[in-house]
Amino acid sequence: MDKKKMVALVAHDNMKRDLAEWVDWNCSILATHPLVCTGTTGKIVEKTLRNHNDPYCDAERLNIHLLKSGPLGGDQQLGSMIVGGQISALIFFCDPMAAQPHDVDVKALLRLASLYNVPTAVNRATADFIISSPLFFDPDYEPAVKDYKSYVERVLA
């Protein structure tokens, strides 16, 4: 049985529609993997997919798990999943033109994705590259995670 990749979906407010359209466009690929979304983003994705004509790509058939809204703790829930090794890819459509009121949470989430070597896309082109990579379909591929134990021991010494 193929190992499924858990794909996390997050978007800033002005980018939620773009992410939902990207999910709709790539639904046939994403339908084979469980998805986890911060709350508001996930609701917009589900609403967009309700209008999809493909019966295999509707919101009911997709395995979408909704977390809390980002500012209400969804970013931290997702960060916990990254630390727990549950997330295979993070698709985070960032808005480069607007200041974000919970920017600290966003930076923490992106830091964890970097620390745990989770493939991360912050725009549509990179998201396309991630899901079109042969590694995305390789059930045995696991990104190497650096062991920071010696770093922590040195800092605490």
Give me the active site residues, please.
Answer: 75
The answer to whether the beta carbons of residues 67 and 74 sit under 8 Å apart is yes
Task: Dig out the tokens for 144 from the structure.
Answer: 């190497």
Q: What pairs with residue 9 in β-bridges?
A: 37, 91
Written as one string, the DSSP assignment of 111-131 is: HHHHHTT--EESSHHHHHHHH
Q: Which two tokens stand for residue 7?
A: 């794909």
Nearest-10 crossing angle of helices 16-25, 39-50 = 50
Torsion of CA 54, 55, 61, 67, to 10 degrees: 40
35 neighbors 27 (Cβ within 8 angstroms): no
Terminus-to-terminus CA distance in the chain, angstroms?
Answer: 46
